């Protein structure tokens, strides 16, 4: 399994690596990001895999509207609600890719002319990710749980609120590149309860804390070789152990995306970054835990196998 995962990783990130060594650094990051997001969506939301072509459009729309706070908030909340509602079919894990593209775009405001190149690079990567999912990964089955329509509606409302709170909190804390906080909340949340509410809550809290630790380590690591090593290790863990462990995918998904996103400017100062991250996460993660506990208490849905 490790050999196949290594070969798949080389195929998925090989084109981006070639672009990076040729000097097209930013383009390489966007191609790799598009590949990973499209593969994620095509694997975990197979019925709507063809819509992975919309990932670059979601990024572009968010980047263009990011200069209008009201417009980008409406877009982010709408996408989050769609992701939550998709849990009635067990597709929410795959559609997280659409939310990731939207949140990343919201953190990179730009004029329409400046969005063209990143969007085309994302499109190229999305095509590669879709092809890989439909060919080499066509026999891969990832566990997915669907919930009742009432639970899905409640989860959609909760997810929209949590993502909005997290997005606003990261802005209020002036957290550099804070898009990952609302995404982490969405990626770790789940409508179906596993065991008791207390057990599910403890697992959620551990996953959120682990995400904060991993992202902080990554963001504070400036060496390219070290970040490449992180990317390889975390991706291989997802491809091997993550297939049957939802909590592991939820824990590693956000750090992997942070490694793939190219941001302008240098790395943040250690103390400043940690203070901002802890301030934003303390409030956001607390609200997320309370919200999920209420959902699991009011709608104790253990889920069922997705059709």
Q: Is the pLDDT of residue 25 over 80?
A: yes
Confidence (pLDDT) at 305: 65
Confidence (pLDDT) at 138: 82
Confidence (pLDDT) at 268: 57
Confidence (pLDDT) at 194: 78
Distance CA 201, CA 172 (A): 26
Q: Is the pLDDT of residue 1 over 90?
A: no
For helices 180-188 and 270-298, the axis angle rounded to 10 degrees is: 30
Distance CA 13, CA 108 (A): 23
Q: Residue 269: phi, psi to the nearest 5?
A: -65, 140
Q: Tens digits of per-residue pLDDT, 98-151?
A: 999 999 999 888 888 899 999 999 999 999 999 999 998 887 777 778 899 999
Q: Tens digits of per-residue pLDDT, 49-64?
A: 999 999 999 999 999 9
Q: Tens digits of per-residue pLDDT, 174-224?
A: 776 789 999 999 999 999 887 788 888 999 999 999 999 999 888 888 788
What is the three-class DSSP state of 145?
A: strand
Confidence (pLDDT) at 148: 93
> Is residue 40 very low, low, confident or very high in pLDDT (cuts 50, 70, 90)?
very high
Residue with token string 């975390």: 234
Cα torsion angle, 43, 54, 29, 188, sign: negative
Burial of 49-59, coded b for 16+ CB within 10 Å and e otherwise, reads bebbebbbbbb
Confidence (pLDDT) at 267: 56
For helices 149-172 and 69-85, the axis angle rounded to 10 degrees is: 150
Distance CA 275, CA 234 (A): 25
Closest to 227 in 3D by CA, of 25, 40, 27, 11: 25
Confidence (pLDDT) at 14: 93
Rama region for 267: left / alpha / beta (φ>0; ψ in -120 to 50; rest): beta
For the whole prediction, is pTM greater than 0.75? yes
Q: Tens digits of per-residue pLDDT, 226-282?
A: 999 999 999 999 888 777 788 898 999 999 999 999 755 555 566 677 788 888 999
Residue ranges in 110-223 assigned as alpha helix (H): 112-134, 149-172, 180-188, 197-219
Confidence (pLDDT) at 144: 75
Domain extent listing, the chain: 2-305
């Amino acid at each position: 399994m490790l050999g196949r995962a290594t070969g798949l990783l080389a195929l998925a990130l090989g084109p981006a690596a070639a672009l990076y060594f040729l000097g097209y650094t930013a383009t390489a990051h966007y191609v790799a990001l598009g590949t990973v997001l499209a593969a994620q969506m095509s694997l975990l939301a197979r019925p709507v895999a063809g819509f992975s072509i919309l990932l670059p459009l979601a990024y572009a729309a968010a980047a263009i509207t990011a200069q209008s706070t009201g417009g980008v908030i409406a877009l982010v909340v709408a996408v989050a609600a769609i992701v939550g509602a998709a849990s009635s079919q067990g597709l929410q894990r795959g559609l997280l890719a659409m939310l990731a593209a939207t949140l990343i775009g919201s953190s990179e405001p730009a004029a329409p002319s400046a969005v063209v190149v990143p969007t085309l690079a994302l499109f190229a990567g999305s095509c590669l990710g879709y092809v890989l999912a439909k060919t080499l990964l066509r026999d891969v089955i990832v566990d997915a749980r669907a919930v009742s329509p009432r639970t899905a509606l409640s989860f959609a409302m909760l997810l929209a609120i949590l993502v909005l709170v997290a997005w606003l909190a990261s802005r209020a804390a002036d957290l550099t590149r804070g898009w990952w906080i609302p995404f982490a909340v969405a990626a770790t949340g789940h409508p179906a309860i596993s065991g008791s509410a207390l057990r599910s809550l403890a697992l959620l809290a551990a996953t959120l804390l682990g995400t904060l630790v991993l992202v902080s380590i990554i963001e504070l690591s400036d060496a390219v070789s070290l970040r490449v090593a992180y990317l390889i290790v975390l991706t291989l863990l997802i491809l091997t152990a993550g297939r049957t462990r939802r909590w592991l995918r939820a824990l590693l998904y956000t750090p992997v995306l942070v490694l793939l996103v190219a941001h302008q400017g240098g790395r943040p100062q250690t103390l400043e970054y940690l203070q901002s991250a802890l301030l934003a996460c303390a409030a956001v993660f607390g609200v997320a835990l309370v919200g999920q506990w209420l959902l699991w208490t009011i709608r104790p849905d253990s889920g069922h196998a997705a059709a």
